[in-house]
Structure 1
């Protein structure tokens, strides 16, 4: 099965300013890109900032295929606002901006980081709030044919983030779907799953029907395939076997100049 590689320009090409990264991705041979939320800690960037971001995508001749929802101050260690009862206004404001970007760029996959456990807040209440907000996000993006993605994150690197395994994500998807939102899927990320001890083949097979997007990085280290212990030949074979025909995002930390990190994709 032909593989559709895209590059995550929030972790690759970081030696360049954000607005120069889409053109660098195109120069490296990519036609599609994805980003985390481009404005760290800002749920509502300026109109000029949004316009400049969209123009950088358009001018580079690439397509934005996936974008993270606003996730708080990730540089300070936050990993999403979905499950924080006090941050509904930020969540909704960021979602409005995301939809404007999607309408202009054509992005249709949206990664919603769940948020960390909070001291003094009942985890059950956080889960209730997260479910409510995921349902809301799913219904909003459904208006443009979009999909909300949910992913586990690596233990020890992302604070008290409660989703660590494919089964954890499946439980969240089940709660959201029970509320009638069907356009929620599993973001299968090799680095996060392997770091947390999930068997990559077993997770792919058990949750094949739920996988909506794939991101790859080796583990340990989060470098390109071949820098860690993951057997990517086997991973790709399993993805083929379960019929996954979607995009595979390169979401790894370059070991040197980003433009030199892709030779393995043609070997």
Structure 2
């Protein structure tokens, strides 16, 4: 019998992008993949941990772009808010940066290093950074591995992770080639929603067993309808390969009531997670 999945109620805070007022802090998205937005109207970051606790969440992966300021005093306030709410900050997610960029790779590495320092000040035990946003090739994979290992070596007091994400890690074989070169110095976060195609679940199964953290996405099969089959199949893959980390859910649908959709995800998942 396959082991049970971790029952901790956990989420990736991208799930609450609308709840947070679609906030994207200035300077947090140099690639332009996200549009900076400080118009307000959403939940304040310092109030987020209390709301997470009120909705039963015990763990969160925090998007870096929700941080409106990064001075030490403010970071201490965020850290204290999570502690007071009893919500574990599992990982800071740095959602930009490309260490494989042909012209700005070194600059991007330094930028990511600054965010890893911020994760350390927040007290997060882990930080996820992108492996690269260039097409895969042996030279690019080697460059990614070298720069990721350098980041990990520069920050020995926090676990640096990367994810099957962006243009570099397009499939299981490429992901395995990178991690062979990382030699355990950088960890793996599996996102079940980043790969598509008929063999998606087989691809996930090939790498999920080496993951330390997860993001399990729920997309929609129709407007306003969660794709329950995809969610259950993704969770079943993680369970069957012996994944032992937390299940951090990601709501990626169209409903503004993100809290209710997250509750629906958990209800659907109960048959798999126990």
TM exceeding 0.5:
yes
Are residues 1:10 and 2:14 paired? yes
Larger RCO, structures 1/2 (Cα 8 Å, 6+ apart) = 2
Are residues 1:109 and 2:126 paired? yes
Aligned position for 2:187: 185
Q: Is the 8 A contact 1:69 1:113 kept in 2?
A: yes
Partners in 2 of 1:221 and 1:191 — Cα distance? 14
Q: Is the 8 A contact 2:219 2:251 kept in 1?
A: no
Residues 115 and 7 (structure 1), Cα distance of their counterparts in 2 relative to 1, 3 Å cut: same
Gaps of 5+ in 2: 22-42
**TM-superposition CA deviations, 1:181-222 (whole Å, max 9, x none):** x133332212112x355421x234322442222211134579
Deviates more, 1:210-219 or 1:29-38: 210-219
Gaps of 5+ in 1: 72-79, 154-160
Partners in 1 of 2:231 and 2:106 — Cα distance? 39
Residues 11 and 235 (structure 1), Cα distance of their counterparts in 2 relative to 1, 3 Å cut: closer
Residues 32 and 252 (structure 1), Cα distance of their counterparts in 2 relative to 1, 3 Å cut: same
Aligned position for 2:143: 129
Residues 241 and 22 (structure 1), Cα distance of their counterparts in 2 relative to 1, 3 Å cut: same
Aligned position for 1:47: 72
**TM-superposition CA deviations, 1:162-185 (whole Å, max 9, x none):** 3222222222212222xxxx1333
Number of residue pairs matched? 238
Q: Is the 8 A contact 2:126 2:161 kept in 1?
A: yes
Q: Is the 8 A contact 1:7 1:25 kept in 2?
A: no
Q: Is the 8 A contact 1:150 1:184 kept in 2?
A: no
Are residues 1:66 and 2:91 paired? yes
2:48 match: secondary structure: helix
